[in-house]
Amino acid sequence: MKSRIWILSVFVLASSATSSPVWAQGAPASTPAPASKSSVQDDPAVLVPAEPDVVVVNLPTTMRMPLFKGNFRLTHRFAGNLRNGSFSDQAGNLFGLDQGAIIGFEYRMAVARDVQAAFYRTSFAKTIQLYGKYDALRQRGSIPVSVSGLVSIEGTNNFQDQFAPAVGTVVSRRFGTRGAAYVTPMWVDNTDASLAPIVHDHDTTHAEEVEATVGSRSTTYVGFGGRVRIHGSTYVAAEVVIRAAGYAPDEAAYGFSLEKRVGGHTFSLTFTNALGTTFAQLARGGAANSLYLGFNLSRKFF
């Protein structure tokens, strides 16, 4: 009887050792912990739905980029004024498309952690802008805002004339995944330099007048902008540039847009009262009774 009980006990123990992973395989292998919210916020490659692009309409945002990754941006501002003529006149000109366009392209890259460098050229006076951005603070935890420092220099005639250095800051506040607000104080030098159309060689009188208007005054302005995600990957955005001091001709430049994000692409249908897109061009303001159709197209390479 005792031998039968001993054999039965051995059989039960053997069966338990075969079926139990604790006995057969030791302690279970550890599984990687899910990424924490803070680690996701620290990764610039992760999409921030409230801040999908490097600009609002023209003003910069605080969007970060991964190290050595790039972003390409194409800008069009069609020259036809939507406030001129009747609706049939506008339709006949394809709402400004027939009047040509001011075209610009930009490529930027994160050259160091939280540091971006950009090259932008626009056909407006053949202006080239060299632009740097340092993302000093990012909104997280007890930090309520993101802050980026800006430095820029631009020159007309393919960076040969009328240089306009600029320095400023972007302060942003995101509101969940639905929207973001921006305040951008900027100082730009040499904003009263003439950007008159190309002068014909025989028009010497006009050439002397243009030369006489070239100056070196500066402008201090504050840009206000915001973006709201209205549904899925569709947004509306708006901005205005208020000149606080210095040279301030015409009206304050403003713009608004309807945007759609598809993967790494963001397309914005823009409406602005100015054809300019650089810091100095925005400082010079927008034209009265003017509204121009345009678009921005951005492509992230990350």
Tell me how far apart the alpha carbons of residues 74 and 103 are, in angstroms, rounded to a whole number: 8
pLDDT at residue number 54: 98
Please, which pLDDT band fits residue 140 given cuts at 50, 70 and 90? very high
pLDDT score of 205 more than 60:
no
Burial label for 143, CB within 10 Å (0-12, 13-18, 19+), is exposed
Nearest to 273 by CA among 60, 54, 77: 77
Question: What's the gap between Cα 15 and its chain centre?
Answer: 65
Section 79-103 average pLDDT? 87
Of 65-74, 177-186, 207-216, 279-288, where does mean pLDDT reach its minimum? Answer: 207-216
What is the C-alpha to C-alpha distance for residues 147 and 168, in angstroms, rounded to an integer? 11
pLDDT in tens, 150-192: 999 999 999 999 999 999 999 999 999 999 999 999 999 999 9
- Residue 25: the pLDDT is 38
CB of 266 within 8 A of CB of 53? yes
Under DSSP, is residue 278 helix (H, G, I), strand (E, B) or coil? coil
Predicted local confidence at residue 41, as pLDDT: 61
**For position 21, what pLDDT does the model report?**
40
Mean per-residue pLDDT over the chain, rounded: 85
Residue type, 175: F
pLDDT of residue 62: 98
Closest-CA residue to 77 (of 282, 249, 301, 299): 282
Average pLDDT over residues 55-61: 98
Going along the chain from its start, the domains and CATH numbers come out as 50-260+284-300 (2.40.160)
pLDDT band at 9 (very low <50, low <70, confident <90, very high): very low
Among residues of the chain, what percentage have pLDDT more than 90?
A: 72
Q: What percent of the chain has pLDDT over 70?
A: 79
What pLDDT does residue 168 have?
98
When pLDDT is averaged across residues 12-26 and rounded to a whole number, the result is 40
Is residue 159 helix, strand or coil? helix
What is the rounded distance in angstroms from the CA atom of residue 288 to the CA atom of residue 272?
11
pLDDT beyond 50 at 67:
yes
The string of DSSP letters for 29-41 reads PPPPPPPPHHHHH
Which tokens in the block code for residue 116?
């971006």
pLDDT value of residue 195: 65
Q: How would residue 299 be classed by pLDDT, with cut points 50, 70 and 90?
A: very high
Question: What tokens does 296 get?
Answer: 């921005």
Please compute the mean of the pLDDT values over residues 182-203 and round it to a whole number: 74
| CA diameter of the chain | 127
